[in-house]
Amino acid sequence: MSSSPAPSAAALVAGTGALGIDGRGHLVQFYEHDAFLVEEMTRFIGAGLGAGDAVIVIATEAHRDGLETGLEARGVDLALAREQGRYVPLDAGETLTKLMVGGFPDEARFGDVVGGAIARAAERHVHVRAFGEMVALLWAEEEREAALRLEELWNDLARRVPFSLLCAYPMAAFGRESDAAPLLRVCGEHTHVMPAESYSALVTADERLRAVTQFQQKVVALEAEIVQRKQQQRRAEEVQARLAAIVESSHDAIIGKSLDGIVTSWNDGARQIFGYTAEEMIGTPIARLAPPERGDEFARILEAIRRGERVDHFETERVRKDGRRIHVSLTVSPIRDADGTIVGASKIARDVTERRRAEEAKDEFLAMLGHELRNPLAAVQSAIVAARLDESRRERALDIARRQAIQLRRLVDDLLDVARVARGKIVLRKEQLFLTTVVEAAVEAARTQIEERGHVLAISLPPELKVDADAGRLEQIFVNLLSNAAKYTPPGGRIEIIAETEGEELVLRVRDNGVGISAEMLPHVFDLFSQADQSLDRAQGGLGLGLALVRRLANLHGGRVEARSDGCGKGAEFVVRLPAARGPEPEQRAAGQAGAAEPQAATRARVLLVEDNIDAADALAMLLELLGHDVDIANDGPAALEAIQRTRPDVMLIDIGLPGVDGFEVARRVRAMPGSKRPLLVALTGYGRDEDKARTRAAGFDYHLTKPVEVDALEGLVARLWSAGAGSGMPTLQ
């Protein structure tokens, strides 16, 4: 087994087999450490000088210094060699600069500079050796194609002039997976390839074989690691792409900035919120978004970030590109590098302008609600006190209290209806109706308000007009329009109701000569809580619910409503358009009774009233007694169940919200009592939704009354329930 070390460049050149019979050869030495390269350069150049060859060294200053130190240590007289023209040292960087044109080695310049030096040396000496590391400098600068082109120029020169050439590359320049193919191209430009010192130092063939085996194992392991890294990189890229997509598609502004407040990233959400593009913002101060009076906020926020603190849900104002101010909620977090050092900040900004407006509208609405509730309550309270103090004014005081109670009920009903419509909870019970029937009922409901203000009401209604509608809801539309006209028309004004058909539509107009609507207000008259009168005294009153409810109810009927006005002081017109009905004649109802049952003659009944509110129970009991009924009161569920056995009521009016045993449970227990004759059950509650009525029906109630109860409705209901159930114990009214 051989024990000779791997051949050096000097040994290869010394042998004819290495360079060929013409003495030519292009060798490449790979190295891991500079000391090894200098040693190989010294052996290669020293052997040439010792054999009487001319040598040209194109190397870096550090490598030239190391070479000359090594040669002198071996006894080479470099001064004499220079004098004889056999040792020509050149700086690699300076020489390379002379060759380059447009980032690429120029063939003509190479021929003049390098080729000229080789030719001059060849004229005076039989053999020429050269060392060059210009290619290594280009490779280190990632100019790989330029380095390979320079290798080709060296080879072209060697075909014209016989000389031997040693190039060198550090192995560290090929440390990436993508360097495998370029390495093969480098090797392909050379006649001999010499491995780095970790292999060249091996002495025996067995050592080299073992090393090759180890290299093969490392290659396999490296390839497996490369595959794994590629998979990890692909997964990381997918995650990054998803995160980038999330950031870019977010409607929130997601912004990166440096610790001195310079914008470094800007997503599309930021463009939507602030109006600036990424090109306009990146590289500029984030403080440009602040209104003048809020400029110090950024300094405070960045100071908190430098301390490693997070700023959560900080609400402030910012200025858009178009100059408009917006409310934003900011969350700002520190950005840390791999070492945990804070290097910047990420900010998420959400436009909360609409939310703030909604909050302001809510606050304004609550203030209006307080005003509108206190006014009738104050009138009721004053009327009660006046009735007590002066018996002669009792009738007038009670009339005031009655009107204000009606106003309170309408306010509550409008509020509930708006909520029901908004949640899609209103179910229309459509039937074919004569329009005159519904309009007459609406006029009757609004008559007091119209007459109080001395308005003239003119009605033009063709009797044959028919509509498919919910009678109660359609009446509600017309009552609100008439009430609005009466409210905003000065005393003694004129209100007109005009109906006609246009094609397949039935058109009803409510027109007045009142205060009119400004051009600014006209687009908003149907908005919820919208009112033209925002003055402190709010002389006209109201919550801005009526017209909003008109539009929503009209839409539910498949129609629409519009407002018209020529401006302030020029009156207004509201136009309701509904699909006209076709088909058989509907049954004509009396005015004021749209959808209502015929009143029944009063009949004396025994009533058990179950109500935990003492005042409410006493007041309702007095009313029922005045209407001719016998009334007993129970203030909770157990007392009611006990009273049934004692009083044997015909009808029970039961409050749902009783303490302990609630009204539902009372109804269920009553229905479970033995015997054929059971009392008829009426739920008495402040909840009037369809789902509330379904729940009372499921608990066993025969009827559902929503507080406050109208006197006529209560009397008619008790009489009808008692008559329907008398003698059988089974109600017919649901």
The rounded distance, in Å, linking the Cα atoms of 168 and 30 is 6
**CA distance linking residue 24 with residue 162, whole number of Å:** 6
Q: With a cut of 60, say whether residue 498 has pLDDT above it.
A: yes
Instruction: Give the model confidence (pLDDT) of 594-631 as tens digits.
Output: 333 343 444 678 999 999 888 888 888 888 888 888 99
Distances (CA, A) of 561 to 373, 461, 481, 554: 29, 18, 11, 7
Tokens of 446: 């609004």
**pLDDT value at 529 more than 70:** no
Beta carbons within 8 Å of 413's beta carbon, 6+ residues apart: none
Average pLDDT, the chain: 83
Query: Which residue from 6, 20, 4, 5 is spatially nearest to 165, judged by alpha carbons?
Result: 20
Query: Residue 127 is encoded by which pair of tokens?
Result: 């053999």
Instruction: Say which residue the tokens 């009592």 belong to.
Output: 673
Sign of CA dihedral 455, 458, 463, 467: negative
> Using CA of residue 536, residue 539, residue 545, residue 550, what is the dihedral sign?
negative
What is the model's pLDDT at position 709? 77
Terminal alpha carbon distance of the chain: 114
Within 488-632, where are the H helices?
A: 546-556, 614-626
Nearest to 441 by CA among 416, 401, 417, 469: 469
- The distance of Cα 90 from the centroid of its chain, to the nearest Å, equals 66
Whether 425 contacts 689, CB under 8 Å: yes
3-state secondary structure 250-308: CCCEEEEEECCCEEEEECHHHHHHHCCCHHHHCCCEHHHHCCHHHCHHHHHHHHHHHCC
Query: Which tens digits make up the pLDDT trace of 207-240?
Result: 777 777 777 677 677 777 778 888 888 888 888 7
33-47, 137-151, 337-351, 539-553: range with lowest mean pLDDT: 539-553
- Whole-number percent of the chain with pLDDT over 90: 46
d(CA 575, CA 563): 6
Tokens 């302990």 belong to which residue?
Answer: 660
Specify the higher pLDDT residue, 345 or 689: 345
In 3D space, the residue among 648, 650, 614 whose CA is nearest the CA of residue 633 turns out to be 614
How much is the pTM? 0.45
pLDDT at 637 over 50: yes
Region 320-334 average pLDDT: 93
Bond into 708 cis (ω within 30): yes
Pick from 700, 695, 699, 703: which is nearest to 722 by CA? 703
Query: Does pLDDT of 633 surpass 60?
Result: yes
Q: Could you tell me which residues come within 8 angstroms of residue 346 by beta carbon, excluding any fewer than 6 positions away?
A: 254, 255, 256, 257, 332, 333, 335
Domain annotation for the chain: domains and CATH numbers: 9-203 (3.40.50.300), 250-351 (3.30.450.20), 356-421 (1.10.287), 427-579 (3.30.565.10), 606-725 (3.40.50.2300)
Rounded Cα distance between 631 and 621, Å, is: 6
- Cite the DSSP H helix spans in 127-275: 134-140, 144-160, 180-188, 197-200, 205-249, 268-274
Give per-residue pLDDT as tens, 663-703: 999 999 999 888 767 888 999 887 777 788 889 999 999 88
The helix/strand/coil state of 602 is coil
